[in-house]
């Protein structure tokens, strides 16, 4: 029943179901979508990314979801987003134009080990599953494990903490795989990492507050953010706070958003998706589709901006 | 599956000192707190999961410090059960 585009996006899904839907999508759009394996996390599951391409290797936009296991709505938004990209190609002029000149990569579940654990053992699980000798606690927060300003202020060195960064940068295969892919591809122009909770649209920097950085660059990010804000509120009136992480939230070290930015990817953003303000990580299933649809308008606006302002 | 008998509190620190007090709560292992949204800026909400065994102690602490809080989720487990039921229903 689910084969012919009847996948129900409005319910929470286990990893296998998301994976199967990715297969279905590729089968339904053989000229546009294909699966690319970029690595194997600690428990040897697959890190499969969907590549939407009209041919060849073009400049690329990367969308990554599910780095934090307990943010289930993020993992659920990605299959809908994938389906939307595929079905809009050839029908929506804007998406058609974007895909004619750029490739779009979408990683639906960046932390598959953690996602499985959060659905089988403990819902409140966020980290990877790698083991650290000498510690009773397992896993690392993949958000703080990147090779940029690593180990500086704000990062957590308590291995039992939810935001533990581990002693060395990119020790986590989930992180290393993304770093390696980005470097080897060489033409990734935008990275948007999707989280849930709090309704935020964040841009660099985390490790240092914006005053010390290039003002022009910040202006460009602000411009994208303002366009994005209008799109995001157009469907449900959802309001997002926007700004550099350091100013809006806290200072941290080894953050993914900074690594991408420092690697020369000018459009490096983090989306914290919609919630109702009442449910947090426990956002109920009937809210997943409205969340995905609202987010899509923002994502589309950002992709259009990137296409209009190449570098 | 692990059960989560407890509540989610929404806490609104008024100033830097209250933020510091909240941050210092996190590593206290006996309280088993789990910050969903950390205290960062005065006036911004923080969300913390408090297990049943620590609820009284945490609320007394917050009130003694004059830190404003609300109960954001009365029972985490009720919501988790609802979510699991929905998943099972669709899987069937």
- Reported as a single tens digit per residue, the pLDDT across A264-304 is 999 999 999 887 667 888 888 888 899 999 999 999 999 99
Residue A198: which pLDDT band, with cuts at 50, 70 and 90? confident
More confident residue, A170 or B26: A170
Give the whole-number percent of chain A exceeding pLDDT 90.
Answer: 66
CB atoms within 10 A of CB A184: 9
- In this prediction, residue A8 carries a pLDDT of 84
Mean pLDDT of B18-40: 91
Check B83 against A285: CB less than 8 A apart: yes
User: What residue in B sits closest to A248 (Cα-Cα)?
Assistant: B41
- The predicted-structure confidence for A186-195, as pLDDT tens digits, reads as follows 999 999 999 9
Check B34 against A162: CB less than 8 A apart: yes
Which residue in the block uniquely carries the two structure tokens 């999961």? B49
Residue A248: which pLDDT band, with cuts at 50, 70 and 90? confident
More confident residue, A10 or A68: A68
C-alpha distance from B84 to closest chain A C-alpha (Å): 9
Q: Nearest Cα to A107, choosing from A27, A46, A43, A32?
A: A46
Cβ atoms of A278 and A60 closer than 8 Å: no
- In this prediction, residue A185 carries a pLDDT of 97
Examine the pLDDT at A2 and tell me if it is beyond 50. Answer: no
With a CB cutoff of 8 Å and minimum separation 6, the contacts of A272 are: A195, A196, A197, A198, A199, A200, A201, A202
- The predicted-structure confidence for A64-86, as pLDDT tens digits, reads as follows 999 999 999 999 999 999 999 99
Examine the pLDDT at A3 and tell me if it is beyond 50. Answer: no
Helices (H), chain A: 15-28, 72-88, 93-101, 112-120, 173-185, 215-236, 245-248, 256-262, 288-308
Mean pLDDT of A100-116: 98
Kindly list the residues from chain A whose CB atom is less than 8 angstroms away from the CB atom of residue B87: 11-14, 119, 285
């Amino acid at each position: 029943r689910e084969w012919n585009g009847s996948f129900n996006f409005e319910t929470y899904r286990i990893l296998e179901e998301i994976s199967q839907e990715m297969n279905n999508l590729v089968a339904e759009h053989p000229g546009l979508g294909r699966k690319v394996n970029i690595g194997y996390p600690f428990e040897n599951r697959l890190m499969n990314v969907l590549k939407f391409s009209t041919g060849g290797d073009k400049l690329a936009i990367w969308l990554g979801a599910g780095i934090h296991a307990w943010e289930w709505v993020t993992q659920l938004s990605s299959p809908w987003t994938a389906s939307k990209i595929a079905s809009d190609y050839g029908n929506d002029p804007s998406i058609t134009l974007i895909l004619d000149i750029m490739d779009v990569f979408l990683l639906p579940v960046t932390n598959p080990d953690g996602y499985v654990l959060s659905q089988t053992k403990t819902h409140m699980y966020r980290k990877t599953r790698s083991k650290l000798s000498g510690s009773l606690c397992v896993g690392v927060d993949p958000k703080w494990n990147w090779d940029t300003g690593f180990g500086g202020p704000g990062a957590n060195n308590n291995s039992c903490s939810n935001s533990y960064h581990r002693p060395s940068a990119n020790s986590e295969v989930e992180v290393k795989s993304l770093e390696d892919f980005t470097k080897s591809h060489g033409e990734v122009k935008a990275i948007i990492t999707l989280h849930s909770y709090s309704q935020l649209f964040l841009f660099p920097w985390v490790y240092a507050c914006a005053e010390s950085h290039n003002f022009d660059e910040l202006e460009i990010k602000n411009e994208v953010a303002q366009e994005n804000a209008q799109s995001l509120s157009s469907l449900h009136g959802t309001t997002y706070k926007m700004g550099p992480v350091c100013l809006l939230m806290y200072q941290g070290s080894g953050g993914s958003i900074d690594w991408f930015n420092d690697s020369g990817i000018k459009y490096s953003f983090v989306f914290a998706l919609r919630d109702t303000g009442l449910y947090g990580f426990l956002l109920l299933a009937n809210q997943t589709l409205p969340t995905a649809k609202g987010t899509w308008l923002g994502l589309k606006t950002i992709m259009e901006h990137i296409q209009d302002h190449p570098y | 599956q692990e059960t989560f008998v407890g509540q989610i509190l929404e806490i609104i620190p008024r100033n830097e000192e209250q933020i510091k007090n909240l941050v210092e709560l996190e590593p206290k292992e006996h309280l088993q707190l789990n910050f969903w949204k950390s205290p960062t800026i005065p006036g911004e909400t923080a969300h913390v999961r408090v297990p049943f065994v620590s609820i009284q102690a945490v609320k007394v602490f917050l009130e003694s410090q004059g830190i404003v809080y609300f109960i954001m989720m009365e029972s985490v487990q009720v919501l988790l059960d609802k979510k699991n039921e929905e998943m099972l229903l669709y899987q069937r």
